[in-house]
Amino acid sequence: MRLKTLAIPLALAALAGCAPYSIRYDYDSHAPYAGYKTFDWYAKSAKANGKSDGVQNPIMDRRVRGAVERELAAKGLRMEKTGEPDVLITYYPVYRQGTVYTTTTVGPHYGWWRPWGYGVGASFTEARTFREGSIILEIVDNKTNQLVWQAVAEGALTGLDDPEDAEHQVGKAVHEMLSRFPPPAH
């Protein structure tokens, strides 16, 4: 019976560990979300003051921008390239290095195998480094130049093995991020 009691939480924990990324978001509850009908990219606006958008990978940039534009269009917002858009959109790919340590133990150890406490064994530790990438998406009110909404997809740019995988995961992450925009009315 005790084994069954532990099996369910362990299975749920294992499934939760399989999620490729997690979404967090925050927003200004007083922003006039209902009035936002048009958008453009922040880096192209006069408010950017000639700052570069810091794009290091033009292929990934097109992939993320395309996904954001499709999601906003599906929500009824349209791209405003000539006038003053209601909101300005920006995103940042953020990468960090991580290390995972795995220890493998071979053979019995002191006090484990024999009742008098002697045995022979060894442990081997292996370090594996990886690059974790996240997407930060921000929406700025163009009239006030204030950040009104932000979402982070932690790990969304991690483990992308091929272009098809990257296209699918980035599209899915952007969809999940923008599913929370606009936030519910209070």
Inside any domain, residue 4: no
User: Does residue 149 lie within any of the structural domains?
Assistant: yes
Give per-residue pLDDT as tens, 93-143. 887 777 778 888 776 655 555 555 555 667 778 888 767 889 999 999 999
Mean pLDDT over 65-88 rounds to 94
| This prediction's pTM | 0.71
Query: Is residue 15 predicted with pLDDT exceeding 50?
Result: no
Would you say residue 3 has pLDDT above 70? no
Q: How far apart are CA 118 and CA 8, in angstroms?
A: 37
Residue 7 lies in a domain: no
Q: How far apart are the first and last CA of the chain?
A: 46
Q: Is residue 108 part of a domain?
A: yes
% pLDDT > 70, the chain: 74
Where does the chain have alpha helices with state H? 2-16, 58-74, 163-178
Check residues 84 and 124 and name the one with the higher pLDDT.
84
Number of domains in the chain: 1
Query: Which range of residues forms the domain containing residue 51?
Result: 21-178
Contact partners, residue 178, CB within 8 Å, separation at least 6 = 68, 71, 72, 75, 137, 151
Tell me, yes or no, whether 112 lies in a domain: yes
* Confidence (pLDDT) at 101: 82
Given a cut of 70, whether residue 154 has pLDDT beyond it is yes
